A = this chain, B = another copy of it.
Amino acid sequence: MSHQFDQTDMGILQLLQEDARLTHKELAHRLHKSVTPIHIRVRRLQEEGYIKRYAAILNQDKIGKSLTAFTQVQVKEHSQEGLLAFKEEIIKITEVMECYHMTGSFDFLLRIVIRDMKEYNDVLIDKLAKVKDIGHVESFFVISEIKHETAFSLHTKT
Contacts and interface: CB of A to CB of B under 8 A. Distances in A.
Contacts of A113: 152
Interface string A6-45: 0000000100111111000000000000000000000000
5 contacts: A16-B55, A70-B100, A87-B146, A94-B153, A98-B148
- Chain copies in complex: 2
A152 B100 contact: no
Given A50-B58, A94-B153, A146 B108 contact: yes
Given A102-B141, A144-B100, A59 B49 contact: yes
A118 interface: no
Given A17-B58, A96-B147, 10 more contacts: A18-B55, A50-B63, A51-B59, A54-B56, A54-B57, A55-B151, A70-B109, A97-B148, A102-B141, A104-B140
Interface residues of A, number: 60
Nearest to A119: B156
Interface string A120-158: 000000000000000000001111111111111111010
Contacts of A151: 55
Interface string A59-80: 1101111001010000000000
Nearest to A88: B146
Contacts of A48: 62
A152 B58 contact: yes
Residue with the greatest number of chain B CB neighbours at <10 A, chosen from A48, A55, A62: A55
Contact of A143 (B21, B98, B103): B103
